[in-house]
Amino acid sequence: MRDPSPPVYREIAEALRSAIASGELSDGDRVPGENDLMKRYGVARATARQALSVLINEGIVVAVRGSGVYVRTFRPLRRHGPRRLSRELWGGGRAIWQADTADRAFAADNITVRETAAPEHVARALDLPEQERVVVRRRRYLLDDRPMQLATSYLPAKLAAGTAIAEADTGPGGIYARLAELGHAPAHFTEEIRVRMPSPAEVEELALSAGTPVLDVMRTALTSDHRAVELNEMTLDGSAYILQYDFDA
By the criterion CB under 8 A, which residues form the site for its own copies?
1-2, 10, 14, 17, 57-60, 76, 81-82, 85-87, 176, 185-200, 204, 211, 213, 215, 238-239, 241-249
CA–CA dist 17, 63 (Å, integer): 15
- To the nearest whole angstrom, how small is the minimum distance from the Cβ of residue 244 to its own copies? 5
φ, ψ dihedrals at 201, nearest 5°: -65, -40
> Which residues are CB-contacts of 242 (< 8 A; sequence separation ≥ 6)?
76, 77, 78, 79
Nearest distance from C-beta of residue 188 to its own copies, angstroms: 5
Beta carbon of residue 90, minimum distance to its own copies (angstroms, whole number): 8
Q: H or E stretch including 160?
A: helix 157-160
For its own copies, the closer of residues 71 and 157 by Cβ is 71
CB of 210 to its own copies, least distance (A): 9
Q: Measured from the CB atom, is 170 or 212 closer to its own copies?
A: 212
Shorter beta-carbon distance to its own copies: residue 161 or 209: 209
What pairs with residue 68 in β-bridges? 64
Instruction: Name which of 156 and 186 has its Cβ closer to its own copies.
Output: 186
DSSP assignments along 16-60, one per residue = HHHHHHTTSS-TTPEEP-HHHHHHHHT--HHHHHHHHHHHHHTTS
* DSSP run (H or E) holding 78: strand 77-80
Number of other CB atoms surrounding residue 40 within 10 Å: 12
CB of 59 to its own copies, least distance (A): 4
Q: Name the residue nearer to its own copies (CB basis): 35 or 98.
A: 98
Phi, psi of 130 (to 5 degrees): -55, 140
Q: Which is nearer to its own copies, 162 or 172 (CB)?
A: 172
CB of 35 to its own copies, least distance (A): 25
